[in-house]
Homo-oligomer: A and B are copies of this chain.
Amino acid sequence: MAFLTSSPLPKRAPIPTAPALSWRMIRADGRPANVVAFEESVVAFFLEAAEILGVPKSLAAIYGVIFASPEPLSFSEVQERLDISAGSISQGLRVLREVNALKVVPNSDSKRELFEPDLELRKLIAHYLEQRVEKQLDSGRGRLQAIAKAIPDGADGSSKVLRTRLKSLQGWHDKSRRVLPMVKALLKLTS
């Protein structure tokens, strides 16, 4: 986890390895340079966001190109724009649909579906918070009870210390549970 990489150890000058965030992911092929540049910066933005949230790059890239396109894109158009295997694109599109990051626009001619970004990112974030955070918080509650039971009871110093710590843990747990809905609410404002 990069943000925990311990401080550059004293010795030996830290080799300035290029951060290399942008990536050979957008296909330049024969398309106009400015369009490509635009796509690239949008994708870079989402790649970075994905990194914060711990979401696979391919998803970010796929969402990115679709977001960067004024018209909805088909599977194969996404494929043309990205240097990613068909398999990944297929899976990526599925996940993004399931998570409501993409809307499916039924194609007028031809039965192939078109995809456009769902700008209602609210839903997306809610999904994220529920799946990732809420679920874990719930199981945490169980674990805390287990811990409480396991504390050797007695009034000696040790047990007291441990009970204090448990309290602190419970405090944070509760706090987290209370903060979540507020975050949700805050995100809803200004929609």
Using CB atoms and an 8 Å cutoff, list the residues of chain A in contact with chain B: 1, 3-4, 6-7, 34-35, 37-38, 41-42, 44-45, 48-49, 51-52, 54-56, 59, 67-68, 70-71, 91, 94-95, 98-99, 117, 119, 121, 128, 131-133, 135-136, 139-140, 143-144, 146-147, 150-152, 157-159, 161-162, 165, 168-169, 171-172, 175, 178-179, 182-183, 186-187, 189-190
Q: Which residues of B contact A183 (CB under 8 A)?
A: 179, 183
Contact between A179 and B190, CB atoms less than 8 A apart: no
Q: Work out how many copies of this chain go into the complex.
A: 2
State which of B70, B91, B158 has its C-beta within 8 Å of the C-beta of A6. B91
Contact between A44 and B175, CB atoms less than 8 A apart: no
Contact between A55 and B165, CB atoms less than 8 A apart: no
Contact between A6 and B38, CB atoms less than 8 A apart: no
Select from chain B the residue with minimum beta-carbon distance to A179: B186
Q: Which residues of B contact A162 (CB under 8 A)?
A: 38, 68, 70
Contact between B150 and A38, CB atoms less than 8 A apart: yes
Q: Which residues of B contact A131 (CB under 8 A)?
A: 3-4
Distance of A70 Cα from B45 Cα, bound (Å):
46
Contact between B147 and A41, CB atoms less than 8 A apart: yes
Contact between B41 and A146, CB atoms less than 8 A apart: yes
Contact between B147 and A38, CB atoms less than 8 A apart: yes
Offer 24 A-B interface pairs, CB within 8 angstroms, sorted by A.
A1-B54, A3-B131, A3-B135, A4-B95, A6-B95, A34-B152, A38-B151, A38-B152, A38-B162, A41-B143, A41-B146, A42-B147, A45-B144, A45-B147, A49-B136, A49-B140, A68-B162, A70-B157, A70-B161, A175-B187, A175-B189, A178-B186, A179-B186, A183-B183
